[in-house]
Structure 1
Amino acid sequence: MTALTFYTNPQSRGRIARWMLEESGAAYDTVVLDYATSLKADAYRAINPMMKVPAIVHGETVVTEGAAICAYLAETFPNAGLAPTAAERGDYYRWLFFAAGPLEAAVVNRAMKVETEPQMQRMAGYGTFDLVTGVFDAAVSRRPYIAGDRFTAADVYVGSAAMWYTQFGLLPKTEGLAAYIDRLTAREAFRRAAAIDDALLAEAAAKG
């Protein structure tokens, strides 16, 4: 069996990859990195020069970026049934990259109080915050899951975005978003992953 190592910090987007790993059923080792030290060390910079988490190393393959990790694990561990069918593929990739691109850019800009002037909206790539969030709400509200009637790896990333942005008040928690989040947080793998990371946070807090 090819070794798989997961690099993370429980207070980061590493929680996305942890959830995806638990959904995939893959066996993996975890390396918890500290923001002030090991995340910036040469050993980790050789894996991810951006000095951020998550990252996975699967044999000789390095994958960074949450959306890429979700897609990679879905394809690498097909028995979990998380990759898209032919009928789901369009929506799967469309909304996976929508969440990683336009949605994140719009939400981050709003959090930093960056507003796009009307003449710059095409350059911003997402138009306006209201446009992006309205499209996102409609996407998660029309069907049980983002690519159709069943859960896929795209829901791990899209769902994580929905959870975080609404939790921190960066996105309005509409009825559709709330129902989508409830479906995802009821999943056994989500709860298992959250429990692992929450325990790591508690352990770090106890150490001071």
Structure 2
Amino acid sequence: MAEELIFYTNPMSRGQIARWMLEEVGAPYETRLLDYGTTMKAADYLVINPMGKVPAIVHGGRAVTECAAICAYLADAFPGAGLAPAPADRADYYRWLFFTAGPVEQAITAKHFGVEPDADQQRMAGFGSLAAALDTLEGAIRDRSFVAGDRFTAADVYVGSQIDWGLQFGTIPARAAFEAYVVPLRERAAYKRAKAIDNDLIAEMQAANPA
């Protein structure tokens, strides 16, 4: 019997990344929707994620949090989906998956909060500067269909989600390399399924709680 897979999320969150990954995997999963002000901070959920944030998954009784970790975990847990390179070929896979989850997201968040490190602070900050992080990310995907090797992997789910989101909301500049990389990803069947599910959930939430 397959181990139970439970997905905790809110459709207006980074849970959209994990949803896409789950749809790529193709294994059955149960979705449990959480609200920011109540159930996300409830005692039973804090056992799963003490940060009180989404997404999280529980697979066979084991919890995994953090989007990049969820993507990497699911690729390994469901090898039949072919979403991870062979172990000997995972250098770029790990490098760009966690570079985007670390320095890139940190740099974007800092900019959003109005923090711009000076020259001395850039030596201490893992991301250095937003410009450096984005230039490095652009170099990783320029003239490439996939960020790690010659086929789609879980790293593309995470990197693609960050670029897709950033282009949509203006937190990543509309550079030609970013557009060229993400446009084909938006055509993937799993991406479209995931977006349709979350967009429907968002519409339902908005209808139930009109402004």
Fold equivalence (TM over 0.5)? yes
Deviations 1:7-66 (A, max 9, x none): 000000000000000000111000000111111111111110000000000112100000
1:46 aligns to what SS in structure 2?
helix
1:102 aligns to what SS in structure 2?
helix
Q: CA deviation at 1:86?
A: 4.1
- Which residue of 1 is the match for residue 120 of structure 2? 119
- Which residue of 2 is the match for residue 205 of structure 1? 206
Q: Flag as ranges the 4+ runs of structure 1 deviating above 6 A.
A: none
- Which residue of 2 is the match for residue 45 of structure 1? 46
1:28-107 maps to which residues of 2 (within 5 A)? 28-86=29-87, 88-107=89-108
Distance 1:129 1:13 in 2: 20
Aligned-residue sequence identity (percent) comes to 56
1:166-177 maps to which residues of 2 (within 5 A)? 166-177=167-178
- Which residue of 2 is the match for residue 194 of structure 1? 195
Q: What count of residue pairs does the alignment treat as equivalent?
A: 208
Scaled by the length of structure 2, what TM-score is found?
A: 0.96
Distance 2:80 2:170 in 1: 37
Range 94-103 or range 139-148, more displaced: 139-148
Distance 2:112 2:147 in 1: 25
2:48 aligns to what SS in structure 1?
coil
Q: CA deviation at 1:189?
A: 0.2
Quick check: 2:104–2:134 contact (8 Å CA) kept in 1? Answer: yes
2:7 aligns to what SS in structure 1?
strand
1:10 aligns to what SS in structure 2?
coil
- Which residue of 2 is the match for residue 20 of structure 1? 21
1:31 aligns to what SS in structure 2?
strand
- Which residue of 2 is the match for residue 150 of structure 1? 151
Q: CA deviation at 1:122?
A: 1.6
Quick check: 2:144–2:181 contact (8 Å CA) kept in 1? Answer: no
Quick check: 2:163–2:178 contact (8 Å CA) kept in 1? Answer: yes
Distance 1:170 1:158 in 2: 14
1:7 aligns to what SS in structure 2?
strand
Scaled by the length of structure 1, what TM-score is found?
A: 0.97
Distance 2:11 2:19 in 1: 9
Q: Provide structure 1 residue ranges, at least 5 long, that are not aligned to the other structure.
A: none
Q: CA deviation at 1:87?
A: 5.4
1:63 aligns to what SS in structure 2?
strand
Q: Please tell me the root mean square deviation across aligned C-alpha atoms, in Å.
A: 1.0
